[in-house]
Amino acid sequence: MRLIALFLAAMLFGAPALASEYDSALGAYKRGDYNTALRIYLALAAEGQALAQYNLGVMYARGEAVTQNFAEAFKWYEKAANQGNAEAQFSLAILLSTGRGVAKDEAKAVTWLRKAADQGDPGAQNSLAIVYDTGRGVPQDPGEAAKWFRQAANLGFAAAQNRLGAMYEKGRGVKQDYAEAMRLYRSAAAKGFPEAEENIGGLYSTGEGVKKDLVQAYRWYQLASRHYLAIDVKAARQVEKKSETLARAMTKDQIAEANRLARQSDPLAR
């Protein structure tokens, strides 16, 4: 009956009616009413609605209102991906690269990554860049990696800004340029991205491309350690050790100033 009702609504009112159904499902999902969202998404997905198919895939992948089932998630992602949904294409690539719900196939994963990346999905662009940088599923090509990192970085994707900054710092795939590396690191750090903060600290601690400044190095290491804590305790401890090493060559006043600057400039504390 539900499918018949949706069909009649589409005939009488056209796409806006289906859009309204989708909005209802999305609203229910955001409220945590997964059962209602699932019921509507299933009906819309059966009608070929790509966004509903993608969201069904998400629900099966996460086990929301259903038993977690990556094979079922793959099925729905594939339906949406074949209709050109970039998020579904990216999700397919992830499942194919990890072998969840489907046989692991890095070559197919790259194919779907490229489709999503070509549509401007920054996460897919960043992942495709990593594939070229590491040579997983494709011939290793740092220049191609830099190209895709740049596209994602230009869209404000912090991880890509950091990785492209590292390529400029090392002269990998691009001409070495410390100023550009620092610019990219700072762009990522402005979003509280700890790897970029650590990299800025590293440049200040060695004086590569910038004037050596232990206060600034300590400041950035402190920010990195603080932001790593939420995602990687081991990494946080490793950066804290770098701070401790620097502290041995610093005065108490310098350490106090570095801590003040870190508190004052923390983008996640604003």
Reported as a single tens digit per residue, the pLDDT across 133-168 is 999 889 999 999 999 999 999 999 999 999 999 999
Residues near 172 by Cβ (< 8 Å), separated by ≥ 6?
142, 146, 166
Tokens of 22: 């989708």
225: nearest Cα among 265, 270, 194, 268: 194
pLDDT greater than 60 at residue 6: no
Residues 51, 85 contacting (CB under 8 angstroms): yes
Helices 15-31 and 50-62 pack at an angle, to 10 degrees, of 20
Residues 124, 108 contacting (CB under 8 angstroms): no
Confidence of residue 8 (pLDDT cuts 50, 70, 90): very low
